[in-house]
Amino acid sequence: MSEILVLVDHVDGDVKKVTLELLTLANRLGDAAAVWVGPGYEGAKAKLAEFGAKKVYLAEDEELTSYVVAPKAALLAKLVQEKSPAAVLVAATGEGKEVAGRLAVKTGSGALTDVVDVAEGFVGEHSIFGGAIIAHAKVRTGTPIIAVRPNSVAPEAAAATPAEEAVSVQLSDADRAAKIVEKVVEEKGERPDLTEAAIVVSGGRGVGSGENFKIIEALADTLGGAVGASRAATDAGWYPHQFQVGQTGKTVSPQLYIAVGISGAIQHRAGMQTSKTIVAINKDAEAPIFELVDFGVVGDLFQVAPQLTEEINKR
Ligand code: FAD
């Protein structure tokens, strides 16, 4: 089977869940070959093997992570040239999409971004207009470079014993154009990452104020989940934008999504509709969110949510 390169998304060795999703997808299309850039591989090795990396190209030179994005594109371009993979998969994050664009230019290939699935023949599936329309697209020139949205594919463990191969690339002056002078790592709070959490509790306009978000946080903390918010809540300044779920926010796909005081606009659904179990608390029985839910509570969130938190706390 032909190799599919997967650019590993990691922060100092901490592998992001999206990488496991990409490995799963790559193994459906061919043989997953992870491309590791920067230090920290030893601690991450087992995880990549567990999720089916059949090969790991190792570029551990610290210099490659000293500059913004360009070295990763340069390395991948070299691997595309030398190894002729069938496709390259990256995460459709800000950085991943920039790598995809640069790599496409370097290799004269087409790139697809924000793909939610890839079918045989490297046909990418795009979910557009907030999920109302599915569009299919295929790269016609060069090696398909595909940026896949986090949380679009369920990661499946598929143990492999990866062969490791050290690789490197000579950086040009252009690759060294933007040096990273300081890295600010967001302090990890007690709560899990929104895009990686198994449980997400989101609050919307119905929550009424930033202060009231404590109700959402309390419920999330009881369940060991992350907190999300609708755009109405983030635009109002009640909760930081980084926690917005939806078309212009994060895409989440947890085991359990609880929407509290959220109407269920199409743009919100676009970011959470693939959640396994969806629960809504809304005082309006006609709210569109109820079309989507597995369980719904028609009621005042200021009564229902604290009661729920209390009840779960007792167990
Ligand atoms: P509302 O639609 O106002 O709903 C509030 C809900 O709370 C109502 O259903 C109401 O019945 C309920 N409620 C009120 N009080 C209570 C109470 N006491 N107890 C229980 N229920 C109560 N939105 C996103 O969320 N994410 C996005 O990424 C996003 N991107 C967008 C991109 C574009 C281009 C556009 C045009 C819009 C986007 N939106 C997005 C906005 C989206 O269209 C909606 O306006 C937004 O999702 C509404 O948020 P909401 O459900 O919190 O508010």
Residue with tokens 């490297």: 122
| Local confidence band at 12 (pLDDT 50, 70, 90 cut-offs) | confident
Question: What pLDDT does residue 274 have?
Answer: 87
Protein residue with its CA nearest to atom 9 in ligand 1: 263
Contact 310, 287 (CB under 8 A): no
Does residue 249 sit in helix, strand or coil?
coil
- Name the DSSP letter for residue 186: P
205 is in an annotated binding site: yes
pLDDT band for 184, please (50, 70, 90 cuts): confident
Residue that the structure tokens 């069938």 belong to: 86
49 CB-near residues (< 8 Å, 6+ apart): 159, 160, 161, 162
CA separation for the pair 139, 239 (Å, rounded): 39
Higher pLDDT among residues 193 and 183, named by residue:
193
Q: Atom of ligand 1 at shortest distance to CA of 204?
A: 52
pLDDT over 80 (residue 187): no
As a whole number of angstroms, the distance between CA 89 and CA 111 comes to 10
User: Is 262 annotated in some ligand binding site?
Assistant: yes
Closest CA to 67 of 109, 99, 89: 99
- Interface ipTM above 0.90: yes
Residue burial 247-276, b: 16+ Cβ < 10 Å; e: rest: bebbbbbbebbbbbbbbbbebbbbbbbbbe
The answer to whether 111 touches 87, Cβ cutoff 8 Å, is: no
246 CB within 6 A, ligand 1: yes
Distance of CA 213 from the midpoint of ligand 1 (Å): 15
234 pocket-lining for ligand 1 (C-beta < 6 Å)? no
What's the pLDDT tens digit per position in 245-281? 999 999 998 999 999 999 999 999 999 998 999 999 9
- The three-state DSSP-derived secondary structure of 13-76 is CEECHHHHHHHHHHHHHCEEEEEEECCCHHHHHHHHHHCCCCEEEEECCHHHHCECCHHHHHHH
Mean model confidence pLDDT for the chain? 95
Q: Angle at CA 35, nearest 5°, toward 34 and 38?
A: 130
Query: Residue 131: what pLDDT?
Result: 72
Q: How far apart are the CA of 197 and the centre of ligand 1, in A?
A: 22
Residue 228 beta carbon below 6 angstroms from any ligand 1 atom: no
Instruction: Identify residue 258 by its one-letter amino acid code.
Output: I
Atom 3 of ligand 1, nearest CA residue: 205
Q: Is 239 helix (H, G, I), strand (E, B) or coil?
A: coil
pLDDT number for residue 188: 65
Ramachandran angles phi, psi of 25, nearest 5°: -65, -45
Question: Distance, CA 261 to ligand 1 centroid (Å)?
Answer: 8
Q: Which of 108-117, 180-189, 227-236, 285-294 has the lowest mean pLDDT?
A: 180-189
Going from the Cα of 229 to the center of ligand 1, the distance in angstroms, rounded, reads: 9
